[in-house]
């Protein structure tokens, strides 16, 4: 806990002190609190928000709001949907390298979009609280830009999709709040929306489902320590995705921050924090680049329940696709969706729930064994997957757990289930038989495993597996049993998975 508290203090210091020297040069920073203040200040100053039309083959072209000729110069096409990429708080005053990657991904696979990068670096490269206040101004300017497109080109705001990262997510929300009229922006995607100064705020002071016709958010770095988190934890969208629980991400090791600080000083923290915070961006890019490997997420109350595998249902809109290809439905209340991912692109994994009913013959002793599961499918095999029941096994218990696979094994046909360790009970039992010979021939103590029930999240297929040797269902340490699909005389599954 001490190390995490230290990290939180470093994060807090970094958040509030970085760019101090830059702020000394900008005494007249934009500060405001509401829509009218933002509008008045915008009317009295030259806009510092730049709209860059992205093209793969030529340099980005600047569109100047209310200068119609710039739309023609930049080849804005009214028949194409519009995607606006909005960056977040800037530490070094430069556009991050994920932005052109996102823009290029939006142009991939023959997609036909107007892609505009919203460049607000002069307002984002500020003391963090000042940058937070500037999000409202930039939101107002984006709303004004979209209203101008409607007025000058009859281009409906419903064709606009705003993708905002960190502070940019709340910029998108304010754009949706400030745009005039009853019609809404088509879609807003929040990529790990910023947490500091937004967590716990009302829906009018942050990104919310009211800001567009459809709002989705991906939360990747929401772990809170001493009241601080980089990304916001609370739901802010119609569908809120929490990959790997939303706190930490595979391949992003927070404890490496000490080495980074030792080598680079206080700025060494940026790469460590950036990994998990920016993972939201790369998950979205992944959804654009890998149409055949879309990550599925599932509605669940919390990550602990999800880790038991009990939330892999797609009934009544309980699952959805993470990223660009999400199914755009509007639930009455925000839905929290969970999923596991890999540490690198493509991030997709395949989710399986396993339910195993154990009978422990040694009633007075709770066992905490480790098992190895091997899965044989029609396409691939996945071998030696470790499973350790957290609560232990005592008496009769049904243990439910989640297993994820990096590959598509096809239809699961066979399971090999092994109790790891040495056959200690065999030696004990042999000793007992030597002392009490009249018990010879009695069954050795162990675990009874009759069936294994499996549900595949991605296909929603439910399967029940029975011991291959129906006369030998007792499992002992160091033993491995094979389980195959249970069938009755009609060839159907005997037991329904619930």
Residues contributing to the annotated binding site for Ca(2+): 206, 211
| Alpha-carbon span 221 to 232, nearest angstrom | 8
| Alpha-carbon span 397 to 450, nearest angstrom | 12
Mark whether 112 is an active-site residue.
Answer: no
Cβ atoms 194, 232 nearer than 8 A: yes
Alpha carbon separation from 340 to 82, 220, 241, 443 (Å, rounded):
31, 11, 11, 42
Cβ contacts of 94 within 8 Å, gap of 6 or more: 121
What does the angle CA 258 – CA 260 – CA 263 come to, to the nearest 5 degrees?
110
Cβ atoms 97, 69 nearer than 8 A: no
Cβ atoms 239, 337 nearer than 8 A: yes
Mark whether 277 is an active-site residue.
Answer: yes
Of 54, 277, 282, 351, the active-site residue reads 277
Alpha carbon separation from 47 to 122, 140, 235, 296, 463 (Å, rounded):
10, 11, 32, 41, 61
Q: Both tokens of residue 292?
A: 């055949």
| Alpha-carbon span 73 to 414, nearest angstrom | 62
Among candidates 142, 79, 83, 125, which has minimal Cα distance to 285?
Answer: 83
Of 60, 144, 192, 240, the active-site residue reads 192
| Alpha-carbon span 269 to 14, nearest angstrom | 8
Cβ atoms 147, 46 nearer than 8 A: no
Among candidates 282, 285, 292, which has minimal Cα distance to 250?
Answer: 282
- Look at the block and give the residue holding tokens 């005053």: 93
| Alpha-carbon span 203 to 150, nearest angstrom | 26
Render 195-221 in DSSP notation, one character per residue: -TTTTT--GGGS--GGGSSEEEEE---
| Alpha-carbon span 144 to 138, nearest angstrom | 10
* Residues flagged as binding site: 206, 211
Mark whether 213 is an active-site residue.
Answer: no
Of 42, 90, 127, 166, the active-site residue reads 166
CA dihedral 40, 41, 43, 47 (to 10 degrees): -150
The residues carrying an active-site annotation are 166, 192, 277
């Amino acid at each position: 806990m001490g190390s995490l508290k230290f990290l939180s203090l470093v994060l807090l210091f970094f958040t509030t002190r970085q760019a101090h020297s830059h702020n000394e040069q900008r005494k007249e920073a934009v500060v405001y609190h509401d829509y009218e203040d933002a509008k008045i200040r915008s009317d009295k100053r030259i806009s510092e928000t730049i709209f860059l039309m992205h093209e793969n083959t030529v340099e980005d072209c600047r569109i100047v709001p209310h200068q119609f000729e710039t739309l023609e110069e930049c080849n804005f096409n009214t028949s194409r949907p519009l995607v606006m990429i909005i960056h977040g708080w800037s530490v070094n005053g430069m556009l991050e390298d994920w932005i052109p990657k996102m823009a290029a991904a939006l142009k991939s696979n023959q997609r036909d979009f107007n892609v505009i990068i919203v460049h607000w670096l002069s307002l984002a490269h500020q003391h963090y609280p000042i940058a937070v206040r500037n999000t409202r101004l930039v939101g107002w300017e984006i709303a004004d830009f979209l209203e101008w497109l409607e007025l000058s080109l009859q281009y409906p705001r419903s064709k606009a999709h705003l993708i905002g990262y960190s502070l940019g997510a709340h910029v998108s929300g304010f754009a949706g709040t400030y745009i005039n009229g009853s019609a809404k922006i088509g879609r807003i995607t929040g990529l790990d929306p910023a947490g500091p100064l937004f967590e716990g705020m009302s829906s009018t002071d942050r990104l919310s489902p009211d800001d567009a016709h459809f709002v989705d958010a991906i939360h990747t770095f929401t772990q809170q320590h001493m009241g601080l988190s980089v990304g916001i934890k609370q739901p802010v969208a119609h569908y809120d995705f929490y990959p790997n629980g939303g706190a930490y991400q595979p391949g992003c090791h927070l404890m490496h921050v000490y080495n980074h600080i030792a080598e680079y000083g206080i700025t060494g923290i940026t790469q460590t924090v950036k990994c998990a915070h920016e993972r939201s961006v790369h998950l979205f890019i992944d959804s654009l680049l890998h149409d055949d490997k879309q990550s599925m997420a599932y509605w669940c109350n919390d990550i602990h329940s999800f880790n038991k595998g009990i939330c892999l249902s797609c009934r009544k809109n309980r699952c959805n696709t993470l990223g660009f290809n999400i199914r755009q439905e509007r639930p009455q209340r925000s839905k929290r969706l969970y999923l596991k991912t890999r540490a690198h692109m493509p991030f997709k994994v395949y989710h399986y729930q396993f339910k195993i009913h154990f009978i422990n013959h040694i009633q007075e002793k709770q066992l905490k064994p480790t098992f190895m599961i091997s899965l044989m499918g029609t396409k691939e095999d996945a071998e030696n997957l470790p499973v350790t029941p957290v609560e232990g096994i005592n008496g009769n218990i049904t243990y439910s757990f989640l297993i994820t696979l990096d590959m598509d094994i096809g239809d699961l046909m066979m399971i090999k289930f092994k109790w790891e360790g040495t056959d200690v009970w065999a030696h004990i039992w042999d000793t007992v038989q030597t002392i009490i010979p009249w018990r010879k021939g009695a069954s050795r103590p162990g675990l009874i495993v009759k069936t294994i029930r499996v549900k595949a999240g991605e296909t929603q297929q439910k399967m029940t597996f029975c011991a291959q040797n129906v006369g030998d269902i007792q499992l002992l340490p160091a033993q491995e049993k094979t389980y195959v699909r249970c069938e009755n005389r009609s060839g159907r599954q005997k037991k329904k998975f619930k």
